[in-house]
Amino acid sequence: MLKPYDFANEVADCARSVEAALDRYLDRARLSGPGPAAERVVAAMRHGSLNGGKRLRPLLVRQAAQVFGVSPEASLQAGLAVEAVHCYSLIHDDLPAMDDDDLRRGQPTVHVAFDEATAILAGDALLTHAFAILAEESCHPDPAVRIALVAELAAGSGAGGMVGGQMRDIEGEKGGFSNGDIETMQAMKTGALIRASVRMGAILGQADPRALSAMTAYAEAAGRAFQLADDILDVTATSEAMGKATGKDEGRGKQTLVGQLGLEEARRTLEAMVADAVMALRTFGPRADGLRSTARYFATRKN
């Protein structure tokens, strides 16, 4: 019999596992290639990834895998790959040519702590090693599963996913975005990697097409909720609670749903998104309680 799902404990345990596994992986010896990894780029990769992040994407991989009976240990490596992609995207997004942020989680960003060239290279290397991590036999014994994970992560991260969303976001700063354009941009910029995380968990669990489709519906609703909550926090939270600058969306003319809908309507929309996410899991039993808790957490988080 399953114990009632202890969300806070699960989040903390997952974050600890990811931090420790990233630390082990980023040990120079593991960054295999024909030559010895350059110490400076490895130090920058560590700075940009071993930073006490919440590790929500590996949590989603783990919780989605759990729906199909896959243990947290067996889903950790796939979660690590998604987190490496997330960390690379933050390093590149923080660059002067992009969002030009000096602080992340209260620490200097990678291009401030090192320099721009090193930050570009550290991001490139984290992205590259995400795929190396998925290719290792320890990720899953079946090569067909591992290559499906590679395909899923690449689709979520590329021009039709995260990178495409970031491009649309930059273009949107010029103005003229409709609500639909904002939703497409956000579905790609943050939603695509959340979607890939959930689907990678399902792929690890060798979910059948119907289950994969339900998991995808969950992921898309949860991803929308995550982004809308982020936009609401940008308006309402203090910079101290977030560990980064807030109020910056309006400051740089970024168009968000909160700006278009107003705060009250945005909060109602957020509730509806969470309800959609939970509804998508209705055919799964208590093994999906993790995913249910995470969707609710997305709407209530304070940072």
**How far apart are CB 286 and a copy of itself at their closest, in Å?**
28
- Which residues partner with 107 through β-bridges? 104
Sequence length of the chain is 303
Q: Does 125 bind a copy of itself (CB under 8 A)?
A: yes
Total chain residues near a copy of itself (CB under 8 A): 65
**Is residue 38 near a copy of itself by the rule CB under 8 A?**
yes
Min CB(134)–a copy of itself separation in Å: 7
- For residue 182, count CB atoms less than 10 angstroms from its CB and return exposed for 0-12, middle for 13-18, buried for 19 or more: buried
Q: Are 222 and 195 in contact (CB under 8 A)?
A: no
Q: Does 242 bind a copy of itself (CB under 8 A)?
A: no
| 205: phi then psi, degrees, rounded to nearest 5 | -85, 10
Tokens, residue 50: 């071993």
Query: To the nearest whole angstrom, how small is the minimum distance from the Cβ of residue 91 to a copy of itself?
Result: 10
What one-letter code names the amino acid at 54?
A: K
| CB contact burial 94-128 (16+ within 10 A = b; e otherwise) | bbeeebebeebeeeebbbbebeeebbbbbbebbbe
Q: How far is the CB of 66 from a copy of itself (least distance, A)?
A: 23
Tokens of 45: 């990769």
Stretch 245-284 residues interacting with a copy of itself (CB under 8 A): none
Query: What's the rounded Cα separation, in Å, for the pair 303 and 209?
Result: 35
Residue nearer to a copy of itself on the CB measure, 135 or 275: 135
Instruction: Determine which residue in the list 47, 55, 62, 92 makes contact with a copy of itself, applying CB under 8 A.
Output: 92
Interhelix angle 39-49/116-135, nearest 10 degrees = 80
Given the complex with a copy of itself, which of 175 and 285 has the nearer CB atom? 175
Check binding of 36 to a copy of itself (CB under 8 A). Answer: yes
List the x/- string, 153-192, binding to a copy of itself by CB under 8 A: xxxxxxxxx-xxxxxx-xx------------x--xx--xx
List strand residue ranges (DSSP E) for the chain, in order: 103-104, 107-108
Residue ranges binding a copy of itself (CB under 8 A): 31-38, 40-42, 45, 88, 92, 95, 97-98, 115-118, 120-121, 123-125, 127-129, 131-132, 134-136, 143-144, 146-148, 150-151, 153-161, 163-168, 170-171, 184, 187-188, 191-192, 195, 220
